[in-house]
Chains A and B, each alone.
Chain A
Amino acid sequence: MEATHAQDHGHGHPTGLMRWITTTNHKDIGTLYLWFAFIMLLAGGCLALLIRAELFQPGMQVVTPEFFNQLTTLHGLIMVFGAIMPAMVGFANWQVPMMIGAPDMAFPRMNNWSFWLLPVAAIMLVSSFFVPGGASAGGWTMYPPLFLQGGISNDMTIFAVHILGISSIMGAINIVTTILNMRAPGMTMMKMPLFVWTWLITAYLLIAVMPVLAGTVTMLLTDRHFGTNFFNAAGGGDPVMFQHIFWFFGHPEVYIMILPAFGIVSQVIPAFARKPLFGYASMVYATGSIAILSFIVWAHHMFTTGMPTSAQLFFMYATMLIAVPTGVKVFNWVATMWRGSMTFETPMLFAIGFVCLFTIGGFTGLVLAITPVDIQLQDTYYVVAHFHYVLVSGSLYAIFAGVYFWLPKWTGRMYDEKLGKLHFWLSTIFFNILFFPMHFLGLAGMPRRIPDYALQFADFNALATIGAFGFGLSQLILLVVVLKCIKSGAKAADHTWEGADSLEWTHLSSPPPYHSFVTPPVVK
């Protein structure tokens, strides 16, 4: 509150570039996060298109095998740490203070810092393509012993991960403090919109596991340069231990990417079904259960490393258990829509697309949880299909839903509904052309991360590449929609969506004032 107070008598805040560099306003920082994520989405997307171009036909046509490995590695790192996570933090920055009736984030200056660390890390990652030996090429999971070899780009990757980790931790601390301390009078925990709940739990996950990731990449760094032997078998270390520590971070990380998406969808569906969210309390408990379970399933990523059967059984059953709270969520969304007065504007289309396609990804996840099946499918395109169904049609679709949902609030103008719907339908059609054939490729045994393949995989790969270029180009529609909305959209009503009931719709104008809720609203 002190910080927003300081801003109040600074109404002549800097303009132009300095406004964005020095800003401590949660709305400005949210905007920065979202634009950064969009640029990274396009960058990571270009890498993916190069991958798909090479895989269009068997044989080597477009890139060298070494460069192909760099593409898959950087595509993963950029999409996870550069696109999905910053986009979710962008939503948190814009929405959390407005939804709980707070004037700003708890630590506005730290907020500024946590954003501006991101471009530093991104530049380091992207520029590693141009150092001798090229970018990291051992996969985004950075497994030793391969990662202990290789050139300076691996050090750049380690450093970039450190910076991204610091940024995420600061963002998470900010969000937790804001939610715990700065709710408007009457806004009890169980009255918070579900998006705020999911972000609270996500932020705790971030604080718990990002330091572990920082620790394990530090071990990689000291193994590389300072004579330690954590993972170096020749010196008494164990490469498999890296996988255990990495996935101790890595599995909660996938829920860090999906829980805020659950939150967004839980805001969008009730608004367009014009019914309150079905089973609010069970949604909160389900989110918490998923978060807790995420800490005891990590070894399902490593069923082929030679674990004792008892451990394989434990991780198999624990993984399957996660389907229960996730199922609760899916049924609650469906029940919310049941007999609602539904309309199908773009945000709702993306939310329904999310529910359908994410569930397909969830089911293939259950298939992969079965140890003997996983041992067959480990490192095949089936796995690639699985995690793109949960991350693209899961997290990314929720981000799209959220952007269309809140764009009228953020800008005060309506987006072009026709173009929005076109974006949804093209994305969904091409997405399925792109990723659905990968299930068949994986079942037939096509390995991932390999630039060439046997002839019998040619047709499905050509199909997937067509889908990839269609999906990639469709995303430019989003850019057009957003720019058109900002420049020339029709004036949006304050309460744009009649079914939405959270504070930003009921208490604030569209666009909201630069400093909203300077005097906290009283809830109920």
Chain B
Amino acid sequence: MADAQQQNSTVLKKLIIVTVLMFGFGFLLVPFYKKICEVTGISKDKIAVSNTQMDPARWVSIEFDANVGKNLPWKFEPLTAHLRVHPGEFKQVMYRVVNTTNRTMVGQAIPSYGPARAGSFFQKIECFCFTQQTLKPGEEKIMPVQFVVQNDLPKDVHTITLSYTFYEQVKADAS
């Protein structure tokens, strides 16, 4: 009798160990799954999206320029003055602006292009010029421009100058 009970509890212990191991195995399937995806190359991290729009054979120089209107005593400059890009390539550059006065001011940047006809091929995805910028006294801002030069840029354009000018935005008569 005692012997039989002994045998039963031995089997019980073994089966409980199997149960615990299988519970752990469930969690082990997580790294296992990630590894299999990695090895077989179906991992989503590995999928490199190539830019089929880019024209790697052609280079275009971009000059970045910054000015302020005469009523706006702000300091305004590009952090990158010059860049060489392929048409179709996505790029981001940063501009820095500082309000050197002791009052809060609102400004709006207006872009212009040289040559002017390049403007319609210069596609800005994100730009600080899309919105008004409000700067407190002495405040400094680093602001992005994200752009793509389009593939159908005329062949004779090799350099584009992007020039921004900040103007003071007179408070809109919101009353």
Give A contacts to B, CB under 8 Å: 1-2, 5, 106-107, 169, 172-173, 176-177, 180-182, 207-216, 219, 230, 238, 241, 244-245, 248, 307-308, 311
Q: Taking the complex as formed, is B18 at the interface, i.e. its CB lies under 8 A from any CB of chain A?
A: yes
Which of B2, B30, B40 counts the most chain A CB atoms within 10 A? B30
Q: Taking the complex as formed, is B20 at the interface, i.e. its CB lies under 8 A from any CB of chain A?
A: yes
Distance to closest chain A CB from B12 (angstroms): 6
Known: A230-B30, A244-B33. A211 touches B7 (CB 8 A): no
Name B's interface SS. Answer: helix
- Surface stretch bound by A, among B21-29, B75-83, B90-98, B106-114: B21-29
Q: Which residues of chain B come closer than 8 Å to A219, judged between CB atoms?
A: 27, 30
Which of A172, A210, A212, A216 counts the most chain B CB atoms within 10 A? A212
Q: Taking the complex as formed, is B1 at the interface, i.e. its CB lies under 8 A from any CB of chain A?
A: yes
Task: Assess the B19–A181 pair: CB atoms within 8 A.
Answer: no
Q: Which residues of chain A come closer than 8 Å to B33, judged between CB atoms?
A: 238, 241, 244-245
Known: A182-B4, A248-B29, A308-B42. A208 touches B12 (CB 8 A): no
Q: Taking the complex as formed, is B120 at the interface, i.e. its CB lies under 8 A from any CB of chain A?
A: no
Task: Assess the B8–A209 pair: CB atoms within 8 A.
Answer: no
Task: Assess the B15–A177 pair: CB atoms within 8 A.
Answer: yes
Distance to closest chain B CB from A506 (angstroms): 24
Task: Assess the A211–B30 pair: CB atoms within 8 A.
Answer: no
Bound-state CA distance A216–B26 (Å) is 7
Q: Mark B59-85, 1 if CB is under 8 A from A, else 0.
A: 000000000000000000000000000
Q: Which residues of chain A come closer than 8 Å to B25, judged between CB atoms?
A: 211-212, 215
Within 8 A of A (CB), among B112-160: none
User: Can you offer 12 A-B residue contacts whose CB atoms are under 8 A?
Assistant: A1-B4, A106-B8, A106-B11, A169-B19, A176-B15, A180-B11, A181-B8, A207-B15, A207-B19, A208-B18, A210-B19, A212-B22
Distance to closest chain A CB from B85 (angstroms): 32
4 more contacts with CB within 8 A, not counting A177-B8, A241-B29, are A2-B2, A106-B12, A172-B15, A177-B11
Q: Taking the complex as formed, is B50 at the interface, i.e. its CB lies under 8 A from any CB of chain A?
A: no
Give B contacts to A, CB under 8 Å: 1-2, 4-5, 7-8, 11-12, 15-16, 18-20, 22-27, 29-30, 33, 40, 42, 44
Known: A2-B2, A5-B1, A230-B30. A215 touches B12 (CB 8 A): no
Bound-state CA distance A208–B19 (Å) is 7
Distance to closest chain B CB from A32 (angstroms): 22
Task: Assess the B23–A212 pair: CB atoms within 8 A.
Answer: yes
Q: Which residues of chain A come closer than 8 Å to B42, judged between CB atoms?
A: 307-308
Q: Which 6 A-B pairs have the closest CB atoms?
A: A215-B26, A211-B23, A211-B22, A212-B26, A177-B11, A173-B15
Bound-state CA distance A106–B14 (Å) is 15
Bound-state CA distance A307–B36 (Å) is 12
Task: Assess the A308–B22 pair: CB atoms within 8 A.
Answer: no
Bound-state CA distance A5–B4 (Å) is 12
Q: Which of A180, A182, A208, A241 is B30 in contact with, Cβ under 8 Å?
A: A241
A311: nearest chain-B partner, CB-CB: B40
Distance to closest chain A CB from B21 (angstroms): 8
Q: Which of B5, B12, B19, B44 is A211 in contact with, Cβ under 8 Å?
A: B19
Q: Which residues of chain B come closer than 8 Å to A172, judged between CB atoms?
A: 15
Known: A209-B22, A212-B25, A308-B42. A176 touches B5 (CB 8 A): no
Distance to closest chain A CB from B149 (angstroms): 33
Q: Which residues of chain B come closer than 8 Å to A213, judged between CB atoms?
A: 26
Bound-state CA distance A245–B4 (Å) is 38
A206: nearest chain-B partner, CB-CB: B19
Task: Assess the B20–A211 pair: CB atoms within 8 A.
Answer: yes
Distance to closest chain A CB from B7 (angstroms): 5
